[in-house]
Amino acid sequence: MAIDGSFGALVVSLSIIVGVAVFGIIAYLCTRIYNMPEDTFGKDINDFLDNMEREKPIRFTSKQLKTATENFSNVLGSGAFGTVYKGTFKNGLTVAVKVLYGTLNRRIEEQFMAEVSTMGRTHHLNLIRLYGFCFESTLRALVYEFMDNGSLDNYLFKTNEGDSIGFEKLHEIAMGTASGITYLHEECPQRIVHYDIKPGNILLDSKFCAKVADFGLAKLCNRENTHISMTGGRGTPGYAAPELWMPLPVTYKCDVYSFGMLLFEIIGRRRNMDVTLGDSQQWFPIWAWNKYEKKQLKDLMVACEIEENDQEVVDRMLKVALCCVQYRPETRPDMSIVVKMLEGTFEVPEPLNPFSHLFIGVSEPSDSLARMAWNGGGSDWTSSETIMSSKVVTGTPLMHKYEITIASV
Ligand SMILES: Nc1ncnc2c1ncn2[C@@H]1O[C@H](COP(=O)(O)OP(=O)(O)OP(=O)(O)O)[C@@H](O)[C@H]1O
Ligand SMILES: [Mg+2]
């Protein structure tokens, strides 16, 4: 009986121990499972970036972005498509969140995700990384990697000496930008036309490496309901190619034109159009062409405060800019050739006058000519921020399976 009694007590004790152990294990596993997504995302930035390398844009909720941006309190800037906010996730990763303007149409969700999926899988050293997006009734946003040094316009047009970048670095930035556009045009699986190359869309990382921003956005934001093709070429005055204004076919060469205009601004470290300057200098590209034609490069270098030992590079950059802004798209070089010309591994041909069309039958003072050129060769609009045209551009084919990961920040 005594044996039976102690055996019973033993069984009871063992049962309690096993029960507690099992309960402990279950409780531990539950905690692990509950915390897993957070761990997976927050463990380590490198892990997170490794996951990003696996090419899946992450779908964030509006709540997650609201938390990361501290209720959208830190505005970095705004443009034609939306307002950009700085944000930080729990794991310390800093991001730029672009909240898109416009009303939400649930029907475009599928196409939106297809577009974002393509953008998120477009990787190159000189392109901004798209980490993910949010598509909710209250918020449509894109989440990008954050660039420490902001956009190139802040360095080209600021009078503050401390903000200026040396000419050699600017040359590197021009080459990096050209490489990024080359990838979009010639190297990625599906050609992406940017439509809005300008200094505000060239961002600079902590080492001032150039990253092209906002590629794919023109297509994403100008779409009409569920159609795969869309209406609306776009651009910014002064950078948009003439064909975006006129009844001419629009091709990827419109980006080459805009890159040429950007190159002029890099050389001049000024806005191409500056009404505060004397007539002849108001529109820098025509002034630069005149200097080039008259072989007065030294004058240009003095005006642009470029040192003598940069003469060879500036000569090359100027010729490339003149080639890129040719009036006829087919006479503009491909961006891969532009890269080689900027590097000096491909000889730059002698450019023709890109502005001759402005002079035919025109006997106007030069400031009127400058305005005409800046306005795209004679269009009569004046103050609109962006240009809308009615060209049909082929959209990204609808994808059946989205390569998207749900965020768990
Ligand atoms: N990833 C980023 N990292 C850091 N700053 C950024 C980032 N993206 C945008 N910005 C800042 O936000 C500003 C506004 O960007 P946004 O793209 O909205 O306007 P934009 O480039 O001037 O015009 P557009 O709408 O034609 O692109 C930029 O000029 C830049 O200073
Ligand atoms: Mg932009």
Question: Is 344 a member of any domain?
Answer: yes
Q: Which residues of the chain fall short of a pLDDT of 70?
A: 1-7, 11, 20-55, 103-107, 159-163, 222-234, 279, 360-409
Q: Find the 374 Cα to ligand 2 centroid distance in Å.
A: 20
Looking at 77, 111, 145, the residue that finishes a domain is 145
Q: Are residues 121 and 182 in the same domain?
A: no
Q: Are residues 225 and 314 in the same domain?
A: yes
Atom of ligand 1 nearest to the CA of 386: 26
Q: Provide the residue type at 172 as one letter.
A: E
Domain count within the chain: 2
Cβ(151) – ligand 1 distance below 6 Å: yes
What was the pLDDT predicted at 80? 83
Cβ(144) – ligand 1 distance below 6 Å: yes
Question: Is 6 a member of any domain?
Answer: no
The mean pLDDT value of the chain amounts to 79
Question: Is 201 a member of any domain?
Answer: yes
What was the pLDDT predicted at 161? 64
Among positive and negative, which fits the CA dihedral 29, 30, 31, 35? positive
Coil, strand or helix at 382: coil
Looking at 355, 370, 391, the residue that finishes a domain is 355
Q: What is the CATH number of the domain that holds 98?
A: 3.30.200.20
Cβ(131) – ligand 1 distance below 6 Å: no
Cβ(152) – ligand 1 distance below 6 Å: no
Cα-trace Rg, the chain = 28
Q: Are residues 283 and 238 in the same domain?
A: yes
* Separation of alpha carbons 47 and 398, rounded Å: 30
Question: Is 203 a member of any domain?
Answer: yes
Looking at 126, 145, 164, the residue that finishes a domain is 145
Q: Are residues 258 and 223 in the same domain?
A: yes
* Separation of alpha carbons 307 and 187, rounded Å: 35
Question: Is 384 a member of any domain?
Answer: no
Q: Which ligand is nearest to the CA of 98?
A: 1
Q: Find the 203 Cα to ligand 2 centroid distance in Å.
A: 9
Atom of ligand 1 nearest to the CA of 147: 3
98 is in an annotated binding site: yes
pLDDT 10s digits, 83-124: 999 999 999 999 999 999 876 666 677 778 888 888 888 999
Q: Are residues 157 and 129 in the same domain?
A: no
Question: Is 131 a member of any domain?
Answer: yes
What was the pLDDT predicted at 288? 96
Q: Are residues 306 and 183 in the same domain?
A: yes
Question: Is 121 a member of any domain?
Answer: yes
Q: Whose CA is nearest to atom 5 of ligand 1?
A: 150
The residue segments making up the domain with residue 179 are 150-355
Q: Are residues 179 and 103 in the same domain?
A: no
Cβ(157) – ligand 1 distance below 6 Å: no
Q: 185-216 burial, b if ≥16 CB within 10 A, otherwise e? A: beebeeebbbbbbbbbbbbbeeebbbbbbbbb
What was the pLDDT predicted at 358? 78
Q: Which ligand is nearest to the CA of 154?
A: 1
Question: Is 187 a member of any domain?
Answer: yes
Q: Are residues 210 and 120 in the same domain?
A: no
Query: Encoding tokens for residue 373?
Result: 């050129």
Coil, strand or helix at 211: strand
Helical pair 335-343 and 253-268, crossing angle rounded to 10 deg: 30
Q: Are residues 248 and 286 in the same domain?
A: yes
Helical pair 167-182 and 335-343, crossing angle rounded to 10 deg: 150
Model's pTM, two decimal places? 0.78
Active-site annotation holds for 205: no
Of residues 50, 196, 299, 315, which has the active-site annotation?
A: 196
Q: Find the 202 Cα to ligand 1 centroid distance in Å.
A: 9
Q: Are residues 328 and 230 in the same domain?
A: yes
What is the secondary structure of 56-120 as a DSSP string? -PEEPPHHHHHHHTTTTT-EEEE-SSEEEEEEE-TTS-EEEEEEEPS---GGGHHHHHHHHHHHH
Q: Are residues 192 and 116 in the same domain?
A: no
Q: Are residues 110 and 193 in the same domain?
A: no
Q: What percent of the chain has pLDDT over 70?
A: 71
